[in-house]
Amino acid sequence: MTTRIRITKARTFATLAVGLVVFAAGSRAGRVSAIGNPDTQPYDISGDWQWSEQNILTVPGYGAAFLGLEEEGPTLHFECVSGGTMNIEQDGNTFTATVAQSGECFTQRGQGPFYPFPSTLDISGSVNERSIFIDFGDCEYRGHLVIAPNSSAVRAIAATGNCDEIFTPASFKNVNYTAIRPH
């Protein structure tokens, strides 16, 4: 005699839901979770970091005068490459850091180099699992932590972000932000 079992979408969903609950309960009991740190402690990002970023900025042409540049038409386009160091102090899932930075900016038509940003600033942020939020004052970055294989050591931070308008209308896009621990 052959017995047929009818598998419905509801039964499949219920089985999947029970499996996820069992997996989550087992992960919380000390086994490694597929989505984060097994003890739900934030990853440790404290210490010294080297960072770099690339920004693309677009401001109205009249903004050129504020930057000591010649107008290049109704819109001024420029790209900045920055980098520096930061020392992160972490308390639970929040952190603060002092950042040293320098870099170069060039307009689309080659004016430069110039650098309209402060040489040091203080930042803050938070870590949630492998996600990171960084508040640079006028700029907010969101990204992820790069974890070393077979350990919980954070090797790098990768993020993108947006900044408040300096001139209206303006666009400031962070194309790429990375930070690595120095060797």
Quick check: is 22 in a domain? no
Residue 145 or residue 29, greater confidence:
145
Quick check: is 115 in a domain? yes
Quick check: is 27 in a domain? no
Is residue 136 within 8 Å of 121, Cβ to Cβ? yes
Quick check: is 40 in a domain? no
The CATH number linked to 131 is: 2.40.160
Mean pLDDT (whole number) for 120-128: 95
C-alpha distances out from residue 97 to 61, 79, 85, 101, 149, Å: 34, 25, 10, 12, 26
Quick check: is 36 in a domain? no
* Each residue's pLDDT tens digit, 127-158: 999 999 999 887 889 999 999 998 889 999 99
Placement of tokens 């942020």 in the chain: 125
Quick check: is 31 in a domain? no
What is the bridge-based pairing of β-strands 131-135 and 120-128? antiparallel
Q: Which domain holds residue 149?
A: 47-180
When divided into structural domains, the chain yields a total of 1
Quick check: is 80 in a domain? yes
Quick check: is 35 in a domain? no
Please report the pLDDT score of residue 167 as a whole number: 58
Among 80-89, 153-162, 173-182, the range scoring the smallest mean pLDDT is 173-182
